[in-house]
Chains A and B, each alone.
Chain A
Amino acid sequence: MLPDFLIRATIAGLGVALIAAPLGCFVVWRRMAYFGEATAHAALLGIALSLALELPIFGGTLLAALLMAYTVSQLSGRGLASDTLLGVSAHAGLAVGLVVASFLSGVRIDLMAYLFGDILAVSISDLYTIWIGVIFVLLLIYWRWSPMLVSTLNEELAYSNGINPKKEKLILTIALAVTVAVSIKVVGLLLISALLIIPAAAARNTSSTPETMVIITALVGIISAISGLQFSYLFNTPPGPSIVCVSIAFFLFLSSKNIWKFR
Protein backbone atom coordinates (compact mmCIF):
# COMPACT_ATOMS: atom_id res chain seq x y z
CA MET A 1 0.00 0.00 0.00
CA LEU A 2 1.30 3.43 -0.95
CA PRO A 3 1.58 6.06 1.77
CA ASP A 4 -1.08 8.80 1.71
CA PHE A 5 1.33 11.58 0.92
CA LEU A 6 2.45 9.73 -2.20
CA ILE A 7 -1.15 9.27 -3.35
CA ARG A 8 -1.84 12.97 -2.86
CA ALA A 9 1.37 13.81 -4.69
CA THR A 10 0.37 11.58 -7.58
CA ILE A 11 -3.07 13.16 -7.89
CA ALA A 12 -1.47 16.62 -7.88
CA GLY A 13 1.12 15.52 -10.45
CA LEU A 14 -1.59 14.11 -12.75
CA GLY A 15 -3.50 17.38 -12.70
CA VAL A 16 -0.44 19.42 -13.55
CA ALA A 17 0.58 17.00 -16.32
CA LEU A 18 -2.92 17.34 -17.80
CA ILE A 19 -2.88 21.13 -18.10
CA ALA A 20 0.79 21.33 -18.99
CA ALA A 21 0.00 19.31 -22.13
CA PRO A 22 -2.11 21.78 -24.15
CA LEU A 23 -0.31 24.79 -22.66
CA GLY A 24 3.10 23.26 -23.34
CA CYS A 25 2.13 22.58 -26.95
CA PHE A 26 1.09 26.20 -27.45
CA VAL A 27 4.28 27.40 -25.75
CA VAL A 28 6.34 25.28 -28.15
CA TRP A 29 4.32 26.17 -31.27
CA ARG A 30 4.36 29.88 -30.56
CA ARG A 31 7.99 29.87 -29.40
CA MET A 32 7.07 31.20 -26.02
CA ALA A 33 9.49 29.16 -23.91
CA TYR A 34 11.00 32.25 -22.33
CA PHE A 35 7.56 33.65 -21.81
CA GLY A 36 6.66 30.69 -19.58
CA GLU A 37 9.89 31.18 -17.71
CA ALA A 38 9.27 34.89 -17.10
CA THR A 39 5.78 34.15 -15.83
CA ALA A 40 7.09 31.46 -13.51
CA HIS A 41 9.85 33.64 -12.12
CA ALA A 42 7.45 36.48 -11.47
CA ALA A 43 5.56 34.05 -9.26
CA LEU A 44 8.42 34.17 -6.72
CA LEU A 45 7.91 37.90 -6.36
CA GLY A 46 4.22 37.17 -5.88
CA ILE A 47 4.99 34.65 -3.15
CA ALA A 48 7.35 37.01 -1.33
CA LEU A 49 4.88 39.90 -1.49
CA SER A 50 1.92 37.84 -0.34
CA LEU A 51 3.94 36.58 2.63
CA ALA A 52 4.95 40.16 3.46
CA LEU A 53 1.39 41.42 3.19
CA GLU A 54 -0.10 38.29 4.77
CA LEU A 55 -2.25 37.52 1.75
CA PRO A 56 -3.11 34.03 0.52
CA ILE A 57 -0.08 32.68 -1.33
CA PHE A 58 -1.98 31.14 -4.23
CA GLY A 59 -3.76 34.42 -4.96
CA GLY A 60 -0.54 36.43 -4.79
CA THR A 61 1.25 33.99 -7.08
CA LEU A 62 -1.57 34.04 -9.59
CA LEU A 63 -1.76 37.82 -9.57
CA ALA A 64 2.00 38.27 -10.05
CA ALA A 65 2.06 35.68 -12.85
CA LEU A 66 -0.91 37.34 -14.56
CA LEU A 67 0.62 40.80 -14.29
CA MET A 68 3.96 39.61 -15.65
CA ALA A 69 2.37 37.63 -18.48
CA TYR A 70 0.14 40.52 -19.46
CA THR A 71 2.88 43.15 -19.28
CA VAL A 72 5.31 41.11 -21.31
CA SER A 73 2.78 40.24 -23.99
CA GLN A 74 1.79 43.92 -24.29
CA LEU A 75 5.39 45.15 -24.41
CA SER A 76 6.64 42.64 -26.93
CA GLY A 77 7.13 44.16 -30.36
CA ARG A 78 7.77 47.64 -28.94
CA GLY A 79 11.43 48.41 -29.24
CA LEU A 80 13.45 45.79 -27.41
CA ALA A 81 13.78 42.40 -29.01
CA SER A 82 11.32 40.03 -27.46
CA ASP A 83 13.83 37.58 -26.04
CA THR A 84 15.85 40.39 -24.48
CA LEU A 85 12.74 41.79 -22.89
CA LEU A 86 11.77 38.37 -21.59
CA GLY A 87 15.27 37.74 -20.28
CA VAL A 88 15.16 41.00 -18.37
CA SER A 89 11.68 40.34 -16.97
CA ALA A 90 12.34 36.74 -16.00
CA HIS A 91 15.46 37.50 -14.04
CA ALA A 92 14.02 40.68 -12.59
CA GLY A 93 11.14 38.61 -11.19
CA LEU A 94 13.52 36.08 -9.71
CA ALA A 95 16.07 38.53 -8.28
CA VAL A 96 13.58 41.01 -6.84
CA GLY A 97 11.57 38.11 -5.43
CA LEU A 98 14.65 36.71 -3.66
CA VAL A 99 15.59 40.10 -2.26
CA VAL A 100 12.07 40.83 -1.01
CA ALA A 101 11.98 37.37 0.56
CA SER A 102 15.20 38.09 2.47
CA PHE A 103 13.57 41.10 4.14
CA LEU A 104 10.86 38.92 5.60
CA SER A 105 12.28 38.47 9.09
CA GLY A 106 10.01 36.56 11.38
CA VAL A 107 8.27 34.78 8.52
CA ARG A 108 9.73 31.41 7.83
CA ILE A 109 10.03 31.13 4.09
CA ASP A 110 11.16 27.83 2.68
CA LEU A 111 12.73 29.02 -0.55
CA MET A 112 13.73 25.56 -1.65
CA ALA A 113 10.09 24.48 -1.60
CA TYR A 114 9.13 27.27 -3.97
CA LEU A 115 12.13 27.00 -6.25
CA PHE A 116 12.09 23.23 -6.63
CA GLY A 117 8.61 22.24 -5.55
CA ASP A 118 7.33 20.37 -2.55
CA ILE A 119 4.98 17.85 -4.06
CA LEU A 120 5.26 15.38 -1.16
CA ALA A 121 3.81 18.01 1.17
CA VAL A 122 0.68 18.57 -0.93
CA SER A 123 -2.35 18.77 1.38
CA ILE A 124 -5.98 17.99 0.64
CA SER A 125 -6.75 21.69 0.34
CA ASP A 126 -3.80 22.11 -2.06
CA LEU A 127 -5.34 19.33 -4.12
CA TYR A 128 -8.61 21.25 -4.32
CA THR A 129 -6.78 24.39 -5.43
CA ILE A 130 -4.77 22.51 -8.03
CA TRP A 131 -7.75 20.66 -9.48
CA ILE A 132 -10.00 23.71 -9.60
CA GLY A 133 -7.23 25.40 -11.58
CA VAL A 134 -6.82 22.32 -13.78
CA ILE A 135 -10.51 22.10 -14.62
CA PHE A 136 -10.70 25.84 -15.27
CA VAL A 137 -7.76 25.76 -17.68
CA LEU A 138 -8.94 22.61 -19.47
CA LEU A 139 -12.41 24.07 -20.04
CA LEU A 140 -10.91 27.33 -21.24
CA ILE A 141 -8.63 25.58 -23.73
CA TYR A 142 -11.37 23.24 -24.91
CA TRP A 143 -13.68 26.20 -25.49
CA ARG A 144 -11.11 28.30 -27.38
CA TRP A 145 -9.16 25.49 -29.05
CA SER A 146 -9.97 26.16 -32.67
CA PRO A 147 -9.60 29.97 -32.67
CA MET A 148 -6.39 29.68 -30.63
CA LEU A 149 -4.97 27.23 -33.13
CA VAL A 150 -5.86 29.42 -36.11
CA SER A 151 -4.35 32.47 -34.37
CA THR A 152 -1.18 30.49 -33.70
CA LEU A 153 -0.88 29.56 -37.37
CA ASN A 154 -1.39 33.01 -38.85
CA GLU A 155 -2.90 36.19 -37.42
CA GLU A 156 -4.29 37.49 -40.71
CA LEU A 157 -5.92 34.14 -41.38
CA ALA A 158 -7.56 34.46 -37.98
CA TYR A 159 -8.81 37.99 -38.66
CA SER A 160 -10.24 36.96 -42.02
CA ASN A 161 -12.29 34.31 -40.24
CA GLY A 162 -13.65 36.74 -37.70
CA ILE A 163 -11.27 35.63 -34.94
CA ASN A 164 -9.44 38.26 -32.89
CA PRO A 165 -5.94 36.86 -32.28
CA LYS A 166 -5.24 39.45 -29.58
CA LYS A 167 -8.14 38.12 -27.53
CA GLU A 168 -6.95 34.53 -28.03
CA LYS A 169 -3.46 35.52 -26.94
CA LEU A 170 -4.87 37.10 -23.79
CA ILE A 171 -6.84 33.95 -22.97
CA LEU A 172 -3.71 31.88 -23.52
CA THR A 173 -1.82 34.23 -21.22
CA ILE A 174 -4.41 33.79 -18.48
CA ALA A 175 -4.34 30.01 -18.87
CA LEU A 176 -0.56 30.07 -18.64
CA ALA A 177 -0.60 32.18 -15.47
CA VAL A 178 -3.07 29.80 -13.80
CA THR A 179 -0.94 26.83 -14.87
CA VAL A 180 2.16 28.41 -13.35
CA ALA A 181 0.34 29.19 -10.12
CA VAL A 182 -0.93 25.63 -9.63
CA SER A 183 2.34 24.00 -10.73
CA ILE A 184 4.66 25.71 -8.27
CA LYS A 185 3.87 23.27 -5.49
CA VAL A 186 4.54 20.33 -7.80
CA VAL A 187 7.80 21.11 -9.60
CA GLY A 188 8.79 24.52 -8.27
CA LEU A 189 9.12 27.65 -10.30
CA LEU A 190 12.55 26.85 -11.71
CA LEU A 191 11.30 23.71 -13.42
CA ILE A 192 7.84 24.80 -14.62
CA SER A 193 9.15 25.59 -18.08
CA ALA A 194 10.67 22.11 -18.21
CA LEU A 195 7.30 20.60 -17.42
CA LEU A 196 5.68 22.65 -20.18
CA ILE A 197 8.25 22.16 -22.89
CA ILE A 198 9.83 18.74 -22.52
CA PRO A 199 6.74 16.50 -22.84
CA ALA A 200 5.55 18.58 -25.81
CA ALA A 201 8.96 18.34 -27.47
CA ALA A 202 8.96 14.58 -26.84
CA ALA A 203 5.55 14.23 -28.49
CA ARG A 204 6.37 16.24 -31.60
CA ASN A 205 7.94 13.50 -33.69
CA THR A 206 5.25 10.94 -33.06
CA SER A 207 2.32 13.23 -33.88
CA SER A 208 0.70 14.11 -37.17
CA THR A 209 -1.88 16.66 -36.04
CA PRO A 210 -2.03 19.27 -33.26
CA GLU A 211 -4.63 17.23 -31.39
CA THR A 212 -2.65 13.99 -31.37
CA MET A 213 0.35 15.98 -30.19
CA VAL A 214 -1.59 17.28 -27.18
CA ILE A 215 -2.80 13.77 -26.32
CA ILE A 216 0.68 12.24 -26.58
CA THR A 217 2.08 15.15 -24.59
CA ALA A 218 -0.47 14.48 -21.86
CA LEU A 219 0.44 10.77 -21.82
CA VAL A 220 4.15 11.56 -21.58
CA GLY A 221 3.44 14.03 -18.78
CA ILE A 222 1.23 11.61 -16.83
CA ILE A 223 3.67 8.71 -17.09
CA SER A 224 6.54 11.01 -16.15
CA ALA A 225 4.66 12.26 -13.09
CA ILE A 226 3.75 8.78 -11.85
CA SER A 227 7.09 7.11 -12.49
CA GLY A 228 9.10 10.15 -11.40
CA LEU A 229 7.33 10.09 -8.04
CA GLN A 230 7.90 6.34 -7.66
CA PHE A 231 11.56 6.81 -8.51
CA SER A 232 11.87 9.63 -6.01
CA TYR A 233 10.17 7.50 -3.30
CA LEU A 234 12.36 4.45 -3.95
CA PHE A 235 15.71 6.21 -4.30
CA ASN A 236 15.04 9.19 -2.08
CA THR A 237 15.67 11.74 -4.83
CA PRO A 238 13.95 15.17 -5.06
CA PRO A 239 10.50 14.52 -6.63
CA GLY A 240 10.16 17.55 -8.97
CA PRO A 241 13.52 17.06 -10.68
CA SER A 242 12.88 13.30 -10.83
CA ILE A 243 9.65 13.90 -12.77
CA VAL A 244 11.50 16.18 -15.17
CA CYS A 245 14.27 13.58 -15.60
CA VAL A 246 11.78 10.91 -16.64
CA SER A 247 10.28 13.26 -19.24
CA ILE A 248 13.77 13.98 -20.54
CA ALA A 249 14.28 10.23 -20.95
CA PHE A 250 11.04 10.16 -22.95
CA PHE A 251 12.25 13.02 -25.10
CA LEU A 252 15.54 11.29 -25.85
CA PHE A 253 13.84 7.99 -26.60
CA LEU A 254 11.10 9.42 -28.83
CA SER A 255 13.36 11.74 -30.78
CA SER A 256 16.31 9.36 -31.08
CA LYS A 257 15.28 8.60 -34.65
CA ASN A 258 15.55 12.26 -35.59
CA ILE A 259 18.69 12.87 -33.62
CA TRP A 260 20.35 10.07 -35.58
CA LYS A 261 19.02 11.47 -38.83
CA PHE A 262 20.64 14.86 -38.24
CA ARG A 263 24.06 13.48 -37.33
Chain B
Amino acid sequence: MCVVPAQILNQVTLINIKDITVKYGEHIVLDKVSLDVAPGEIVTIVGPNGSGKTSLVKTIIGALTYDSGSLIIKNNLRIGYIPQRLNIDHTLPMTVQRFLNLTHRLTKDECLKALSAAGASGLLEAQMSNLSGGQFQRVLLARALQGDPEILILDEATQSLDQAGSADFYKQIESVRDKKGCAVLMISHELHVVMSASDKVICLNGHVCCSGAPEAVAIMPEYHDLFGTGTDGTLALYRHNHDHRHDNPVRSAEVSD
Protein backbone atom coordinates (compact mmCIF):
# COMPACT_ATOMS: atom_id res chain seq x y z
CA MET B 1 0.00 0.00 0.00
CA CYS B 2 1.24 3.41 -0.85
CA VAL B 3 1.59 5.85 1.99
CA VAL B 4 0.01 9.20 1.26
CA PRO B 5 2.31 12.13 2.01
CA ALA B 6 1.06 14.03 5.03
CA GLN B 7 1.09 17.45 3.37
CA ILE B 8 -1.44 16.26 0.82
CA LEU B 9 -3.78 14.96 3.50
CA ASN B 10 -3.67 18.27 5.29
CA GLN B 11 -5.25 20.14 2.39
CA VAL B 12 -8.97 20.74 2.17
CA THR B 13 -11.00 17.57 1.77
CA LEU B 14 -12.38 17.00 -1.71
CA ILE B 15 -15.65 15.49 -0.60
CA ASN B 16 -17.23 15.91 2.77
CA ILE B 17 -20.50 14.10 3.40
CA LYS B 18 -22.26 14.33 6.72
CA ASP B 19 -25.33 12.36 7.76
CA ILE B 20 -26.77 12.23 4.30
CA THR B 21 -30.16 10.58 3.81
CA VAL B 22 -31.55 9.64 0.41
CA LYS B 23 -35.05 8.27 -0.16
CA TYR B 24 -36.77 6.77 -3.16
CA GLY B 25 -40.34 7.59 -2.25
CA GLU B 26 -40.76 6.14 1.23
CA HIS B 27 -37.88 3.74 0.87
CA ILE B 28 -34.72 4.89 2.62
CA VAL B 29 -31.71 4.07 0.47
CA LEU B 30 -29.02 5.89 2.40
CA ASP B 31 -29.44 6.45 6.11
CA LYS B 32 -27.23 9.13 7.68
CA VAL B 33 -24.14 8.23 5.74
CA SER B 34 -20.94 10.17 6.39
CA LEU B 35 -17.81 10.03 4.31
CA ASP B 36 -14.69 12.10 3.67
CA VAL B 37 -12.28 11.91 0.79
CA ALA B 38 -8.97 13.72 1.14
CA PRO B 39 -6.69 14.55 -1.80
CA GLY B 40 -4.66 11.54 -2.92
CA GLU B 41 -6.63 9.08 -0.82
CA ILE B 42 -8.03 5.77 -2.09
CA VAL B 43 -11.42 5.17 -0.51
CA THR B 44 -13.35 2.00 -1.23
CA ILE B 45 -17.03 1.48 -0.63
CA VAL B 46 -18.07 -2.14 -0.25
CA GLY B 47 -21.49 -3.53 0.44
CA PRO B 48 -23.99 -6.11 -0.78
CA ASN B 49 -26.42 -5.51 -3.64
CA GLY B 50 -28.98 -2.87 -2.82
CA SER B 51 -26.88 -1.39 -0.06
CA GLY B 52 -26.95 2.05 -1.67
CA LYS B 53 -23.42 2.13 -3.07
CA THR B 54 -24.42 3.40 -6.47
CA SER B 55 -26.92 5.83 -4.94
CA LEU B 56 -24.13 7.28 -2.85
CA VAL B 57 -21.96 7.87 -5.90
CA LYS B 58 -24.91 9.31 -7.81
CA THR B 59 -25.54 11.70 -4.95
CA ILE B 60 -21.92 12.81 -4.98
CA ILE B 61 -21.93 13.62 -8.70
CA GLY B 62 -25.27 15.36 -8.40
CA ALA B 63 -27.44 12.85 -10.23
CA LEU B 64 -29.56 12.23 -7.13
CA THR B 65 -30.87 14.77 -4.67
CA TYR B 66 -30.61 14.06 -0.97
CA ASP B 67 -33.32 14.58 1.61
CA SER B 68 -31.23 15.65 4.57
CA GLY B 69 -27.65 16.01 5.72
CA SER B 70 -24.88 17.97 4.08
CA LEU B 71 -22.72 17.39 1.06
CA ILE B 72 -19.75 19.68 0.57
CA ILE B 73 -17.76 19.26 -2.60
CA LYS B 74 -14.61 21.26 -3.20
CA ASN B 75 -15.30 24.13 -5.59
CA ASN B 76 -14.97 23.14 -9.24
CA LEU B 77 -13.79 19.68 -8.30
CA ARG B 78 -12.45 17.97 -11.41
CA ILE B 79 -14.00 14.50 -11.48
CA GLY B 80 -12.86 11.63 -13.68
CA TYR B 81 -15.83 9.30 -13.67
CA ILE B 82 -15.92 5.67 -14.79
CA PRO B 83 -19.49 4.41 -14.85
CA GLN B 84 -20.68 0.97 -13.87
CA ARG B 85 -21.89 0.25 -17.33
CA LEU B 86 -21.62 2.30 -20.46
CA ASN B 87 -23.68 0.88 -23.25
CA ILE B 88 -22.92 2.65 -26.45
CA ASP B 89 -25.95 2.02 -28.63
CA HIS B 90 -25.02 0.21 -31.80
CA THR B 91 -26.61 3.01 -33.81
CA LEU B 92 -24.17 5.56 -32.37
CA PRO B 93 -20.86 5.42 -34.21
CA MET B 94 -17.97 6.33 -31.94
CA THR B 95 -14.28 5.83 -32.50
CA VAL B 96 -11.96 5.62 -29.52
CA GLN B 97 -10.38 8.90 -30.59
CA ARG B 98 -13.74 10.67 -30.67
CA PHE B 99 -14.67 9.19 -27.32
CA LEU B 100 -11.50 10.51 -25.70
CA ASN B 101 -12.44 13.92 -27.07
CA LEU B 102 -15.87 13.82 -25.55
CA THR B 103 -15.38 16.31 -22.75
CA HIS B 104 -11.88 17.64 -23.41
CA ARG B 105 -10.38 18.72 -26.72
CA LEU B 106 -7.35 16.59 -27.46
CA THR B 107 -4.94 16.44 -30.37
CA LYS B 108 -4.24 13.11 -32.01
CA ASP B 109 -0.87 12.95 -30.24
CA GLU B 110 -2.48 13.52 -26.87
CA CYS B 111 -4.97 10.75 -27.61
CA LEU B 112 -2.16 8.36 -28.50
CA LYS B 113 -0.32 9.28 -25.33
CA ALA B 114 -3.43 8.83 -23.19
CA LEU B 115 -4.09 5.41 -24.73
CA SER B 116 -0.57 4.13 -24.25
CA ALA B 117 -0.58 5.38 -20.65
CA ALA B 118 -3.77 3.40 -20.07
CA GLY B 119 -2.30 0.33 -21.73
CA ALA B 120 -4.56 0.51 -24.76
CA SER B 121 -2.34 1.61 -27.61
CA GLY B 122 -3.33 0.80 -31.16
CA LEU B 123 -7.02 1.36 -30.52
CA LEU B 124 -7.30 4.94 -31.77
CA GLU B 125 -9.39 4.18 -34.85
CA ALA B 126 -11.37 1.28 -33.37
CA GLN B 127 -15.11 1.55 -32.82
CA MET B 128 -16.04 1.57 -29.14
CA SER B 129 -18.68 -1.11 -29.72
CA ASN B 130 -16.04 -3.52 -31.05
CA LEU B 131 -13.75 -3.39 -28.02
CA SER B 132 -13.35 -6.26 -25.57
CA GLY B 133 -14.31 -5.72 -21.94
CA GLY B 134 -10.73 -5.06 -20.84
CA GLN B 135 -9.99 -2.70 -23.70
CA PHE B 136 -13.21 -0.83 -23.04
CA GLN B 137 -12.36 -0.26 -19.37
CA ARG B 138 -8.88 0.98 -20.31
CA VAL B 139 -10.36 3.45 -22.76
CA LEU B 140 -12.82 4.61 -20.09
CA LEU B 141 -9.87 5.11 -17.74
CA ALA B 142 -7.91 7.00 -20.40
CA ARG B 143 -10.89 9.33 -20.91
CA ALA B 144 -11.46 9.81 -17.21
CA LEU B 145 -7.82 10.89 -16.79
CA GLN B 146 -8.17 13.78 -19.24
CA GLY B 147 -8.39 17.25 -17.79
CA ASP B 148 -6.17 16.32 -14.86
CA PRO B 149 -8.85 15.08 -12.44
CA GLU B 150 -8.49 15.62 -8.71
CA ILE B 151 -10.55 12.53 -8.03
CA LEU B 152 -11.35 9.37 -9.94
CA ILE B 153 -14.74 7.88 -9.19
CA LEU B 154 -15.27 4.27 -10.20
CA ASP B 155 -18.63 2.58 -9.92
CA GLU B 156 -17.95 -1.16 -10.04
CA ALA B 157 -15.70 -0.46 -12.96
CA THR B 158 -14.42 -4.01 -13.26
CA GLN B 159 -17.72 -5.82 -13.48
CA SER B 160 -17.05 -7.07 -16.98
CA LEU B 161 -13.48 -8.20 -16.30
CA ASP B 162 -12.17 -11.53 -15.09
CA GLN B 163 -10.14 -11.71 -11.88
CA ALA B 164 -6.73 -11.20 -13.41
CA GLY B 165 -8.12 -8.45 -15.60
CA SER B 166 -9.61 -6.55 -12.70
CA ALA B 167 -6.52 -7.02 -10.54
CA ASP B 168 -4.59 -5.57 -13.43
CA PHE B 169 -7.02 -2.70 -13.77
CA TYR B 170 -6.79 -1.81 -10.09
CA LYS B 171 -3.00 -1.91 -10.30
CA GLN B 172 -3.28 0.63 -13.05
CA ILE B 173 -5.53 2.81 -10.90
CA GLU B 174 -3.00 2.61 -8.09
CA SER B 175 -0.14 3.61 -10.36
CA VAL B 176 -2.19 6.49 -11.73
CA ARG B 177 -2.79 7.68 -8.19
CA ASP B 178 0.90 7.41 -7.40
CA LYS B 179 1.87 9.33 -10.53
CA LYS B 180 -0.81 12.01 -10.56
CA GLY B 181 -1.68 12.16 -6.89
CA CYS B 182 -5.42 12.17 -7.55
CA ALA B 183 -7.82 10.72 -5.02
CA VAL B 184 -9.80 7.60 -5.87
CA LEU B 185 -13.30 6.77 -4.73
CA MET B 186 -14.44 3.36 -5.79
CA ILE B 187 -17.25 0.94 -5.31
CA SER B 188 -16.56 -2.71 -5.52
CA HIS B 189 -17.65 -6.23 -4.85
CA GLU B 190 -14.18 -7.56 -5.36
CA LEU B 191 -12.98 -7.26 -1.83
CA HIS B 192 -9.77 -9.19 -2.16
CA VAL B 193 -8.37 -6.98 -4.90
CA VAL B 194 -9.73 -3.74 -3.66
CA MET B 195 -8.95 -3.90 -0.01
CA SER B 196 -5.24 -4.29 -0.41
CA ALA B 197 -4.98 -1.07 -2.37
CA SER B 198 -7.23 1.14 -0.27
CA ASP B 199 -6.37 3.67 2.38
CA LYS B 200 -9.87 3.55 3.79
CA VAL B 201 -12.75 1.12 3.46
CA ILE B 202 -16.37 2.03 4.04
CA CYS B 203 -18.67 -0.88 4.58
CA LEU B 204 -22.13 0.18 3.49
CA ASN B 205 -25.52 -1.39 4.01
CA GLY B 206 -27.94 1.51 3.84
CA HIS B 207 -25.96 2.98 6.72
CA VAL B 208 -22.22 2.84 7.34
CA CYS B 209 -21.64 -0.48 9.12
CA CYS B 210 -17.99 0.02 9.74
CA SER B 211 -15.09 1.89 8.28
CA GLY B 212 -11.39 2.32 8.66
CA ALA B 213 -8.14 0.96 7.31
CA PRO B 214 -8.60 -2.26 5.31
CA GLU B 215 -6.75 -4.44 7.83
CA ALA B 216 -8.91 -3.12 10.64
CA VAL B 217 -12.20 -3.47 8.76
CA ALA B 218 -11.42 -7.02 7.71
CA ILE B 219 -11.50 -8.24 11.31
CA MET B 220 -14.50 -6.20 12.43
CA PRO B 221 -17.57 -8.31 13.35
CA GLU B 222 -19.91 -5.98 11.37
CA TYR B 223 -17.91 -6.73 8.27
CA HIS B 224 -18.23 -10.46 8.77
CA ASP B 225 -21.95 -10.15 9.49
CA LEU B 226 -22.34 -8.49 6.14
CA PHE B 227 -20.14 -10.67 3.99
CA GLY B 228 -19.95 -13.87 5.98
CA THR B 229 -16.81 -15.65 6.97
CA GLY B 230 -17.51 -18.90 5.19
CA THR B 231 -16.14 -18.22 1.78
CA ASP B 232 -13.58 -15.92 2.75
CA GLY B 233 -11.68 -15.08 5.62
CA THR B 234 -8.98 -15.64 3.08
CA LEU B 235 -10.54 -13.50 0.40
CA ALA B 236 -10.67 -10.40 2.52
CA LEU B 237 -7.02 -9.61 2.77
CA TYR B 238 -5.57 -11.63 0.01
CA ARG B 239 -2.70 -9.72 -1.54
CA HIS B 240 -2.65 -10.42 -5.20
CA ASN B 241 0.59 -11.59 -6.74
CA HIS B 242 -0.20 -12.16 -10.33
CA ASP B 243 2.76 -13.03 -12.44
CA HIS B 244 0.93 -13.35 -15.71
CA ARG B 245 -1.45 -11.22 -17.76
CA HIS B 246 -4.58 -12.38 -19.51
CA ASP B 247 -5.78 -9.29 -21.20
CA ASN B 248 -3.37 -8.40 -23.90
CA PRO B 249 -3.84 -4.91 -25.34
CA VAL B 250 -1.81 -5.75 -28.45
CA ARG B 251 -4.60 -8.03 -29.60
CA SER B 252 -6.63 -4.93 -30.27
CA ALA B 253 -5.56 -4.43 -33.87
CA GLU B 254 -7.46 -7.53 -34.90
CA VAL B 255 -10.64 -6.48 -33.20
CA SER B 256 -10.93 -3.00 -34.63
CA ASP B 257 -12.93 -2.66 -37.79
In the bound complex, do residue A157 and residue B89 qualify as a contact, i.e. CB atoms below 8 Å apart?
Answer: no
Residues of B within 8 A of A28 (CB): 91
Among A31, A156, A160, A161, chain B packs the most CB atoms within 10 A around the CB of A160
Question: Is A213 an interface position by the 8 A CB rule?
Answer: yes
* Of the residues B93, B103, B125, B155, contact of A207 by C-beta under 8 Å: B93
Given contact pairs A160-B79, A208-B127, A209-B98, A155 touches B63 in the complex (Cβ within 8 A): yes
Given contact pairs A156-B58, A156-B63, A210 touches B92 in the complex (Cβ within 8 A): yes
Within 8 A of B (CB), among A139-166: 146, 149-150, 152-157, 159-161
Interface-facing stretch out of B80-88, B192-200, B220-228: B80-88
Question: Is B153 an interface position by the 8 A CB rule?
Answer: yes
Question: Is A212 an interface position by the 8 A CB rule?
Answer: yes
In the bound complex, do residue B102 and residue A209 qualify as a contact, i.e. CB atoms below 8 Å apart?
Answer: no
Within 8 A of B (CB), among A182-226: 200-201, 204, 207-213
In the bound complex, do residue B92 and residue A153 qualify as a contact, i.e. CB atoms below 8 Å apart?
Answer: yes
Question: Is A70 an interface position by the 8 A CB rule?
Answer: no
In the bound complex, do residue A159 and residue B61 qualify as a contact, i.e. CB atoms below 8 Å apart?
Answer: yes
Question: Is A34 an interface position by the 8 A CB rule?
Answer: no
Interface band, chain B: 20 to 34
Question: Is A131 an interface position by the 8 A CB rule?
Answer: no
Distance (Å) between the CB of A62 and the closest chain B CB?
Answer: 28
Question: Is A29 an interface position by the 8 A CB rule?
Answer: yes
Given contact pairs A208-B127, A209-B93, A210-B98, A159 touches B63 in the complex (Cβ within 8 A): yes
Question: Is B230 an interface position by the 8 A CB rule?
Answer: no
Distance (Å) between the CB of A102 and the closest chain B CB?
Answer: 39
Within 8 A of A (CB), among B60-111: 61-63, 79-81, 83, 86, 88-89, 91-95, 98, 102-103
In the bound complex, do residue B93 and residue A212 qualify as a contact, i.e. CB atoms below 8 Å apart?
Answer: yes
* Of the residues B57, B62, B81, B93, contact of A157 by C-beta under 8 Å: B81
Distance (Å) between the CB of A254 and the closest chain B CB?
Answer: 13
Within 8 A of A (CB), among B183-201: none
Interface band, chain A: 20 to 34
Distance (Å) between the CB of A6 and the closest chain B CB?
Answer: 34
A29–B94 Cα distance when bound, in Å, is 11
A210–B92 Cα distance when bound, in Å, is 6
Distance (Å) between the CB of B202 and the closest chain A CB?
Answer: 20
In the bound complex, do residue A160 and residue B93 qualify as a contact, i.e. CB atoms below 8 Å apart?
Answer: no
In the bound complex, do residue A208 and residue B83 qualify as a contact, i.e. CB atoms below 8 Å apart?
Answer: no
Of all chain A residues, which has the CB nearest B76? A162
Residues of B within 8 A of A213 (CB): 92-93
Distance (Å) between the CB of B62 and the closest chain A CB?
Answer: 5
Of all chain A residues, which has the CB nearest B64? A159
Among A150, A161, A200, A207, chain B packs the most CB atoms within 10 A around the CB of A161
* Of the residues B58, B61, B80, B92, contact of A152 by C-beta under 8 Å: B92
In the bound complex, do residue B95 and residue A29 qualify as a contact, i.e. CB atoms below 8 Å apart?
Answer: no
In the bound complex, do residue B94 and residue A160 qualify as a contact, i.e. CB atoms below 8 Å apart?
Answer: no
Residues of B within 8 A of A161 (CB): 79, 81, 103
In the bound complex, do residue A209 and residue B81 qualify as a contact, i.e. CB atoms below 8 Å apart?
Answer: no
Distance (Å) between the CB of B114 and the closest chain A CB?
Answer: 17
In the bound complex, do residue B92 and residue A156 qualify as a contact, i.e. CB atoms below 8 Å apart?
Answer: no
Binding site for A on B (CB under 8 A): 57-58, 61-63, 79-81, 83, 86, 88-89, 91-95, 98, 102-103, 125, 127, 153, 155
Binding site for B on A (CB under 8 A): 28-31, 146, 149-150, 152-157, 159-161, 200-201, 204, 207-213
A-B contact pairs, 16 of them (CB 8 A): A146-B103, A150-B103, A153-B86, A153-B88, A154-B86, A157-B83, A159-B58, A159-B62, A160-B61, A204-B93, A207-B93, A208-B93, A209-B93, A209-B94, A210-B93, A210-B98
12 extra A-B contacts, CB within 8 A, seeds A160-B80, A213-B92: A150-B103, A152-B92, A153-B88, A153-B94, A153-B102, A156-B81, A160-B61, A160-B81, A204-B93, A208-B93, A208-B95, A209-B95
